[in-house]
Structure 1
Amino acid sequence: MSMCFPLLRSRPLSKKTVVQPAEPPPPPDPEPEQQQQQASPIPESPEQQQQSRPSTSKEDTPVPTVVESPPVSFETPPPPDSTSSTLAGGRLSVVDERRIIKTPPPPSAKPASRPPLGIAPGMDLIFDKEHSGNKAELELPSTDGLDYPRAASWSSCNVNEIMHDALGKQVFRCFLAQALAEENMTFWEKCEEFKKCKDNAALQAAVADTMESMGTYVNVSAPARAKLMEVAKGTNVDKKMIEPASKEIYKLLENDQLPRFRRSELYLGFLEKLLPRAYAEKWKLNFEALLGNQVGRHYFRRFLISIHAEENLKFWEAAIEFKHSKNKSAAMARSIYDQFLKEGIPNEVFLPHGVRNNLLRLIKEKEIDGTLFDDSIKYVEQVLRNDPYVRFLQSETYKDLLSRLQ
């Protein structure tokens, strides 16, 4: 019997090879019993574990049946019964939780205003409108019998000189009252009266009365206040104990409040009432007369502000004030330089390169005297004279002032 074998082909068939689809992966093996017990927070009995264990046979797998759900009704639920308090699983139901929420009671009446903590008794009266309204408002003195040179001299005098001028003292007091600093002048006057006391009993009584009435308002240091309290309590009654507080108040008036008084609208308005028309007409012919007059410089500053060129006049005033000050220091000069002349600042006053470098060298070497800003003052005056001064004489600001003067 002979057997026939098919011939082997050297090349594959030209027909397309049909790729059979891959079989789906087998279902994952059920988790071991030990892992199921660890995952379950509540231990199960062996019968429950046997029932919950999935079966691997296809015959025992039940076919799920589709149960039609009843139609959903959108009826509004009835309002909750306020008398029922049903517990669900030991917790209040949503109805009960809503029911127990109560509206907070209305706020009680606003309590009477009291000073905040940390403020000494009586300090709150400074900001009490009703208390301040009961105080008689100070009035400026009359200009009858007062000439302009006398009133203009108050801008160059010190505290002691203006306090010995009855009218100047009254105008200065009105300014301090507007600035809520009148107690400083009153306290300094009290200190001058303390020095005239002849016996210790009168001195102690006067200091005790002053500290009780206005000690809270006076701006003195703690050591100076402590010495005043020693005199008031009688532990150390000596006129020398009053000197520290008196000197501190005098320096405050001299270095802070009197310079602000000279530039205040109150003082300049009072001067304007006394300014003769002839003074204002001289400004057309003399630029130095304009800068040397307080009222003229005030209106010239207003005009420079309108043309955004007031930094030159501000520097000129600061340099003149430094020149005439008694206590000149390198710190004061450096402050003026940083405020007006430092390169890159918003309102820089431009000076020639040589003038600026020489000024900066003198400040660094602390060669400070009254001539420190002389070159800078001359240059700024020339800048103001060339263009702003001419435009000011033609402005409505100057014309309106002339029309009001007699």
Structure 2
Amino acid sequence: MKTRLGCLSNKSDSCSDFSEFLPPAQERTTRCLKLSNDEVTRWADSFDILLSNKYGLAAFRTFLKTEFSDENIEFWLACEDYKKIKSPAKMMSKANKIYKEFIDVHAPREVNIDHRTREETKNRLLEPTPHSLNEVQAKVYSLMEKDSYPRFIRSKIYQDLLNRTQIYCQRKSV
């Protein structure tokens, strides 16, 4: 992490390089993204704040990958995209894709949900609406909020990022 956070610059009020949390394609086009210590600190205030911040979301995704549970955030994000679809044909296609990838018992990235929720979701997706995935999405969100999020806040990824932004900001203010 030290080498990846080595892009600190005195030219910005922000405090830490965040390129390590970007997907490779974005990493090539973005040399050095900055974060303030206040921004990173706010992620610990609530799960919603973390998810609403693109860098917080990226850090959380990175953390979940280390825990081999990134299917949860990927499913949640797929549901967020699904809700924006207006075309019934596209909605049906996206619903089927989400079901096959995350909900089906044989899904390659199966999320951990109970049998009843799985069956109800399957039935709702026979005639999908923008709200067809709300219940299952809420369950996965709750699981992440109660389980993964507290571990993320205690994780080395978050603590290192918090410490490095704090140290950098202190150096800048001297």
TM-score (norm 2): 0.72
Instruction: State the match for 1:331 in structure 2.
Output: 93
| Matched residue type, 2:151 | R
Structure scoring higher RCO (CA < 8 A, sep ≥ 6) equals 2
The number of aligned residues is 145
Q: Can you give the 5+ residue segments of structure 1 that lack an aligned partner in the other structure?
A: 1-143, 148-260
Mapping of residues 282-301 of structure 1, within 5 Å: 282-301=42-61
Instruction: State the match for 1:353 in structure 2.
Output: 115
SS in 1 for 2:109: coil
- 2:153 paired with 1:393: yes
SS in 2 for 1:375: helix
Cα distance change of structure 1 residues 269 and 314 upon mapping to structure 2, 3 Å threshold: farther
Cα distance change of structure 1 residues 280 and 318 upon mapping to structure 2, 3 Å threshold: same
Mapping of residues 119-138 of structure 1, within 5 Å: none
Runs of 4+ in 1 over 2 A off after TM superposition: 144-147, 263-270, 324-328, 344-347, 352-355, 403-406
Cα distance change of structure 1 residues 404 and 300 upon mapping to structure 2, 3 Å threshold: same
| Preserved CA contact (<8 Å) 1:312 1:349 | yes
Cα distance change of structure 1 residues 346 and 330 upon mapping to structure 2, 3 Å threshold: closer
C-alpha distance in structure 1 between counterparts of 2:38 and 2:134, whole Å: 30
C-alpha distance in structure 1 between counterparts of 2:63 and 2:121, whole Å: 29
| Preserved CA contact (<8 Å) 1:316 1:380 | yes
Instruction: State the match for 1:378 in structure 2.
Output: 138
Instruction: State the match for 1:317 in structure 2.
Output: 77
1:141-173 CA distances to partner (integer Å, 9 max, x unpaired)?
Answer: xxx7999xxxxxxxxxxxxxxxxxxxxxxxxxx
> Larger % of helix: which?
2
1:5-43 CA distances to partner (integer Å, 9 max, x unpaired)?
Answer: xxxxxxxxxxxxxxxxxxxxxxxxxxxxxxxxxxxxxxx
SS in 1 for 2:149: helix
| Matched residue type, 2:119 | N
| Matched residue type, 1:306 | T
TM-score (norm 1): 0.33
| Preserved CA contact (<8 Å) 1:268 1:294 | no
Identity of aligned residues (%): 28
